[in-house]
């Protein structure tokens, strides 16, 4: 399965959340469908769509602000014109329920801050300057953060969201030297990926972002897997042979692809991420059965959309 996790594991952080996001939700932009050739979109309609996207982005920024008054963060698609599968809603609700709780290395407030900053990155002018530059290092300035996280945490989130194709090991090392541990990086990656996944799905349904949950008080567990090592990737991972009983249910079997090992140094983050992925893509038992047709479109259609979207977004797998 070609999902974002390849980023960490082949010394290539370029996929991040976008590979799985675009694989699952190619409806995110109508122009993708036009490029794929699934149905024609008149040029005049694209202008209307772009205007609608701008209004949604402004709405999304307001929903992402830290400290704003929120009602209960319930995942609902009752106003959606398309019927959404119950298991999709349930997995997104589980994700949202966990989002505000203390994690492994981040407490609830910092996790919500990461989620809000993920949304905030969409409208960051400095991110656009970096993306337009021949090298992101050539752009001078600073990200327009929300003020809840450190500068290097904001840089990690914004670069992952806006320009994941040009991340480098040197960039990762600089953020490590600035005080971000490998496990903290992994937990941030998991939050960014899950928020982008849910938000992209919501956007595809023509709705504004769901409200972020309120943070729950408490301390992170600070669990460090005894078997986590820096070998095959920039960040520590746990090989199947090094799994400890204290890691819990980490792998379905000893034979697992590196995609499934990427977040393994933070086992709880890995489990939460894959709980969301399996409903938005395929359950793990169906991934390698290419003749399986358990979704509304068949497997060939899914992979055609995934491949075309990857090409458009330069998700280099």
Q: What mean pLDDT is reported for the chain? A: 80
For residue 193, name the pLDDT band (cuts at 50, 70, 90): very high
Looking at the chain, the whole-number percentage of residues with pLDDT higher than 90 is: 60
Find the radius of gyration of the CA atoms of the chain: 19
pLDDT of amino acid 316: 62
Phi, psi torsion values for 238, nearest 5 degrees: -110, 115
Cβ proximity of 227 and 239 under 8 Å = yes
Which of 118, 117, 169, 124 minimizes the C-alpha distance to 142?
A: 124
Mean pLDDT of 212-227: 96
Cβ proximity of 104 and 183 under 8 Å = yes
Mean pLDDT of 108-130: 96
**SS3 readout for 128-187:** HHHHHCCCHHHCCCCCCCCCCCCHHHHHHHHHHHHCHHHCCHHHHHHHHHCCCCHHHHHH
**Who has greater pLDDT, 105 or 5?**
105
Return all residues near 26 (Cβ < 8 A) that are at least 6 apart. Answer: 32, 33, 36, 305, 306, 308, 309
Residue spans of the domains in the chain: they are: 49-289
Q: What is the pLDDT of residues 47-95, one digit of tens each?
A: 444 454 454 444 444 444 444 444 458 999 999 988 999 999 999 999 9
**Residue 15 above 80 pLDDT?**
no
**Residue 238 above 60 pLDDT?**
yes
**Residue 142 above 90 pLDDT?**
yes
**Residue 19 above 90 pLDDT?**
no
The pTM is what? 0.77
User: Strand runs (DSSP E) across the chain, as ranges?
Assistant: 228-229, 237-238
C-alpha 224/C-alpha 267 separation (Å) is: 9
**Residue 26 above 80 pLDDT?**
no
Q: What is the pLDDT of residues 285-312, one digit of tens each?
A: 888 888 878 888 999 999 899 889 888 8
pLDDT of amino acid 270: 96
Q: What is the pLDDT of residues 153-182, one digit of tens each?
A: 999 999 999 998 899 999 999 999 999 999
C-alpha 261/C-alpha 9 separation (Å) is: 8
């Amino acid at each position: 399965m070609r999902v974002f996790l390849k980023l960490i594991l082949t010394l290539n952080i370029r996929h991040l959340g976008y590979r799985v996001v675009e694989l699952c939700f190619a409806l995110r932009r109508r122009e993708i469908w036009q490029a794929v050739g699934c149905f024609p979109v008149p040029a005049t309609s694209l202008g209307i769509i772009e205007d609608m996207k701008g209004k949604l982005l402004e709405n999304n920024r307001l929903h992402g602000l830290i400290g704003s008054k929120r009602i209960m963060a319930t995942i609902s698609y009752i106003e959606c014109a398309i019927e959404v599968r119950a298991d999709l809603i349930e997995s997104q609700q589980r994700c949202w329920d966990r989002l505000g709780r203390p994690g492994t290395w981040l407490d609830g407030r910092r996790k919500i801050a990461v989620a809000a900053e993920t949304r905030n990155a969409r409208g960051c002018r400095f991110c656009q300057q970096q993306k337009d530059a021949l090298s992101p290092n050539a752009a001078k300035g600073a990200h327009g953060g929300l003020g809840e996280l450190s500068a290097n945490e904001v840089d990690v989130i914004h670069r992952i969201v806006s320009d994941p194709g040009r991340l480098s090991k040197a960039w990762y090392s600089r953020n490590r030297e600035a005080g971000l541990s490998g496990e903290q990086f992994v937990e941030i990656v998991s939050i960014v990926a899950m928020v982008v996944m849910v938000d992209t799905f919501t956007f595809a349904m023509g709705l504004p972002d769901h409200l972020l949950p309120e943070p729950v008080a408490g301390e992170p567990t600070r669990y460090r897997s005894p078997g986590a090592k820096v070998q095959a990737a920039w960040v520590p991972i746990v090989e199947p042979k090094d799994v400890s009983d204290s890691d819990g249910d980490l792998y379905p079997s000893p034979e697992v692809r590196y995609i499934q090992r990427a977040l393994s140094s933070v086992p709880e983050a890995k489990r939460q991420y894959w709980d969301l992925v399996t409903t938005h893509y395929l359950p793990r038992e169906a991934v390698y059965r290419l003749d399986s047709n358990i979704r509304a479109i068949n497997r060939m259609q899914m992979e055609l959309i995934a491949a075309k979207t990857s090409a458009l977004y330069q998700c280099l797998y």
